Amino acid sequence: MRGDETITRRPRRPHVISPALLSSAVHPLDANLADMGDRDNRSERVSRLLLKHRAPLYGFIFSCLRNHSDSDDVLQDVALAVTQSIDALRSDEEFLPWSREIARRRVLDGSRDVAAAVEREEILQSEGVPRVVRPPDGRVTIG
């Protein structure tokens, strides 16, 4: 742009609201706002309950797994499951037993996955398929 040019802007048109919208008793977005408010209340409830019961819930998960990394993963899965199904919780006093049951099921699911992986590994070894090993340095060795 050269220095002698000026920028001209189009004047903004005023926002026009339809008379029907003005005369209606309920704005069409009010229902959406109410839903958003419910969603906010639910997320606040979940956050409050998870913060309150995080330590005993993590302790329970860790006592089952004895591994901090796996325990963190399960706690994250539980938090997601709790968030998605918080409406099923009848009262806040039942949160810890309810979330512990969700955690117990996640731990068992993980144990089944590990058992299935061990079983697959044993089958592959019995069939003579070489095992692929990935050491921490990232180099892949077969043996």
Convert the pLDDT of each residue in 44-75 to its tens digit.
Answer: 999 999 999 999 999 999 998 888 988 999 99
Instruction: Give the bridge partners for 142, in sequence order.
Output: 132
**What are the structure tokens assigned to 34, written together?**
């109410």
Task: Give pLDDT, residue 111.
Answer: 81
- Residue 141: strand pairing partners: 133
Give the C-alpha separation, 79 to 85, whole Å: 10
- Phi, psi at 2, each rounded to 5°: -85, 155
Q: The pTM is what?
A: 0.58
Asked if residue 106 lies in contact with residue 117, where contact means CB atoms within 8 angstroms, the answer is no
What are the residue ranges in the chain where pLDDT is below 50?
17, 21-36, 140
| Separation between Cα atoms, residue 132 and residue 9, nearest integer Å | 66
> What's the CA gap between 48 and 54, in Å, rounded?
10
Q: Check residue 24 and give its pLDDT.
A: 46
**d(Cα 126, Cα 67) in Å, to the nearest integer?**
30
Torsion, Cα of 135, 141, 142, 143 (10° steps): -60
Q: Which CA distances in Å does 39 have to 22, 33, 86, 116?
A: 27, 10, 11, 38
* pLDDT value at residue 25: 46
Please report the pLDDT score of residue 33 as a whole number: 41
State the Cα–Cα distance between residues 128 and 20, nearest whole angstrom.
Answer: 77
Residue 79: per-residue pLDDT:
95
